[in-house]
């Protein structure tokens, strides 16, 4: 896909969005279902680039799965992948790359893992070092500390504790937690020690919750120590419904706060196991009206009410915090987002990318090693070169919200949203175009009313 011209939107966003399945949950449960004993039916699984690379990798490893209507049925392998030699392509999926690397190290086979060029710039050294502590044979095929990787058969031996850093990515710990039940140890468990502050803790809580659904109960000592049962096997829960993606919800909730709303998202709420539902609380702190139910969230803003800047430690919402940087453009005063160093090792260096693109719109931005301070534009700009997305789905979705400003904005290479939400711009258009039609006194919007259009 090419570029997209956005806005300016003429009225508020209003409506209901049913969320696609969570990307974080989808890729985790696909791997767990593949390792489990028995058949697992997965409902509301996300269909995106990230899940496609995981499904393709599993098929190459001999895992049988098939689509049954809107469900996906996975025939588990009881922890032993049938194929013992495979070259796997993982795109730019950090979850797939890191979790597969750890699990394949326990399979006694010959495997390679490679991805797109950006994936080869995303660190994996801390995970590899931890796996080598227990005897895994993993080799770098290019630069030390980064994919692509080669995994060879090795004798896995228990050590106590296994140390891993928590400061770069929580996915390293997630990968260990998923792989260690496949090992053996005299004590019947393996201990993990976190050697630094653990970032993105809600994603670890999500992993622990899913492990329990597949029969693995991990003991936790605060956020610094974990005890994982070994000599055990994953068991299918029979069926599992993937809840809606709380990270994707942030863009629509933000639209409700900026445009007045109300906007309701369905599929994630107070029962959610995803940390990004706490994004709604941040919007409330900025002055929006927030309501929540067990599987829905709704945001609005009263006429005359104004959003205001906040200072927020974003460790609990690392992905959704990017959306707050866009909401800051519509708030009174500056907004400071801290504890976001992990942005630098995502699909792009998101800290640098956000700072660069926000300045194009006229915002005052201070970029630190692990923080952004954003002052809203005094004069909104419409950059001739457009907003660059860096092949990063979250950049494209975040900057769609610039269309609520007073100037038209072009988003370059917007098709990168297919990584997690291929229909994103269609859904966003539905929230705004229907309102334009009402404002114009028509039951159907004319072409000129559509605030989102291809160009």
Q: Does the annotation mark 319 as catalytic?
A: yes
The token pair at 404 is 């609520």
Do the bridges between strand 296-300 and strand 311-313 make them parallel or antiparallel, or are there none, so unpaired?
A: unpaired
Q: How far apart are CA 169 and CA 197, in angstroms?
A: 11
Given 49, 319, 392, 449, the catalytic residue = 319
Task: Report CA 72 to chain centroid distance, whole Å.
Answer: 21
How would you classify the pairing of strands 162-164 and 189-194? parallel
In the numeric block, which tokens belong to residue 234?
Answer: 């994953």
Q: Which two tokens stand for residue 183?
A: 């090992």
* SS3 letters across 308-354: ECCEEECCCCCCCHHHHHHHHHHCECCEEEECCHHHHHCCCCHHHHH
Cα 143 to Cα 58: distance, rounded to the nearest angstrom: 26
Tell the residue number behind the tokens 């890191």, with chain if given: 98
Q: Are 224 and 198 in contact (CB under 8 A)?
A: yes
Please state the φ and ψ torsions of residue 159, each to the nearest 5 degrees: -130, 160
- Kindly report the number of other CB atoms within 10 A of residue 382's CB atom: 17
Q: In residues, how long is the chain? A: 455
Instruction: Check: CB of residue 93 under 8 Å from CB of residue 27.
Output: yes
Name which of 166, 171, 167, 158 is nearest 228 in CA terms.
158
Residues with a catalytic annotation lie at: 319
């Amino acid at each position: 896909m090419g570029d997209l011209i956005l806005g300016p939107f003429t009225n508020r966003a209003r409506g209901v969005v049913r969320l696609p399945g969570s990307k974080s949950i989808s890729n985790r449960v696909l791997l767990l279902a593949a390792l489990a004993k028995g058949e697992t039916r997965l409902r509301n699984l996300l269909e995106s680039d990230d899940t496609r690379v995981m499904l393709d990798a599993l098929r190459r490893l001999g895992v049988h799965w098939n689509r049954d209507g809107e469900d996906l049925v996975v025939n588990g392998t009881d922890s032993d992948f049938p194929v013992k030699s495979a070259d796997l392509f993982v795109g730019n999926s950090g979850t797939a790359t890191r979790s597969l690397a750890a699990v394949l190290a326990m399979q006694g086979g010959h495997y390679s893992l490679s991805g797109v060029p950006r994936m080869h710039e995303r660190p994996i050294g801390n995970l590899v070092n931890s796996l080598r502590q227990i005897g895994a044979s993993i080799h770098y095929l290019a630069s030390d500390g980064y994919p692509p990787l080669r995994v060879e058969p090795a004798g896995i031996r228990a050590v106590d504790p296994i140390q891993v850093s928590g400061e770069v990515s929580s996915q390293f710990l997630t990968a260990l937690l998923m792989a260690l039940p496949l090992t053996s140890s005299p004590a019947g468990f393996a201990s993990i020690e976190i050697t630094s502050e653990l970032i993105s803790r809600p994603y670890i809580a999500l992993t622990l919750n899913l492990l329990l659904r597949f029969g693995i109960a991990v003991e936790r000592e605060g956020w610094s120590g974990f005890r994982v049962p070994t000599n055990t096997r994953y068991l299918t829960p029979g069926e599992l419904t993937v809840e809606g993606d709380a990270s994707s919800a942030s863009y629509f909730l933000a639209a409700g706060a900026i445009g007045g709303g109300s906007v309701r998202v369905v599929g994630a709420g107070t029962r959610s196991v995803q940390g990004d539902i706490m994004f709604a609380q941040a919007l409330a702190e900025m002055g929006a009206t927030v309501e929540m139910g067990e599987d829905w969230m709704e945001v609005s803003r009263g006429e005359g009410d104004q959003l205001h800047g906040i200072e927020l430690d974003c460790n609990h919402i690392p992905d959704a915090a990017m959306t707050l940087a866009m909401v800051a453009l519509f708030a009174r005063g500056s907004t400071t987002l801290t504890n976001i160093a992990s942005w630098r090792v995502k699909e792009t260096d998101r800290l640098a990318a956000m700072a660069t693109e926000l300045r194009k719109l006229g915002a005052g931005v201070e970029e630190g090693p692990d923080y952004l301070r954003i002052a809203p534009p005094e004069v909104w700009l419409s950059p001739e070169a457009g907003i660059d997305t860096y092949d990063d789905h979250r950049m494209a979705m975040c900057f769609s919200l610039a269309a609520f400003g007073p100037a038209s904005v072009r988003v370059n290479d917007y098709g990168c949203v297919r990584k997690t939400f291929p229909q994103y711009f269609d859904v966003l258009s539905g929230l705004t175009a229907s309102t334009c039609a009402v404002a114009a006194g028509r039951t159907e919007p004319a072409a000129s009313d559509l605030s989102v259009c291809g160009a």
